[in-house]
Amino acid sequence: MKGTYVLIIENHADTEAEIGKIGCIRFKRGFYAYVGSALSGLEQRIGRHTRDIGEDKKLHWHIDYLLANRGVEVKEVLCAETKRRIECEIAANMGMHLDSIAHFGCTDCSCKSHLFFSTSLTELKEHVYKSFHAVGEHFLATKINPV
């Protein structure tokens, strides 16, 4: 299955993290939405992002570095099965309404960011939902149960 996804992430405390080649970034306590795509295995990509960091998981994408921090957890995943590359459209729409972390998750495109922030989970999710609708895609939302 191919598609685009958004991870809804909670960061429980202000923190700093070394993010690949970007360097050290300060992350505020609050909620983040990360927009990604998997055009060769949506379920596997989401599974990778939602499983715990362990010895077998190499840090590859920017989001891997963020998720490796204590106190950072994926709360929900939204995804749309699509063959179209819509992640940049979704990110552009979200960027009109939410604060973002510059250059995060977008080394292979010209977007400003693929990671967005809000202190309000309700506000964040509202803009994620509206962004999927704006590009004409239906999505499936799945809450992640804590282990």
- Tokens representing residue 55 in the block: 């010895």
pLDDT in tens, 100-126: 999 999 998 999 999 999 999 999 999
pLDDT in tens, 19-77: 988 999 999 999 999 999 998 888 889 988 888 655 566 888 999 999 998 899 999 99
With beta carbons less than 8 A apart as the criterion, state whether 114 and 94 touch.
no
Selection from 70, 74, 71 nearest residue 49 by Cα: 74
pTM to 2 decimal places? 0.92
With beta carbons less than 8 A apart as the criterion, state whether 74 and 30 touch.
no
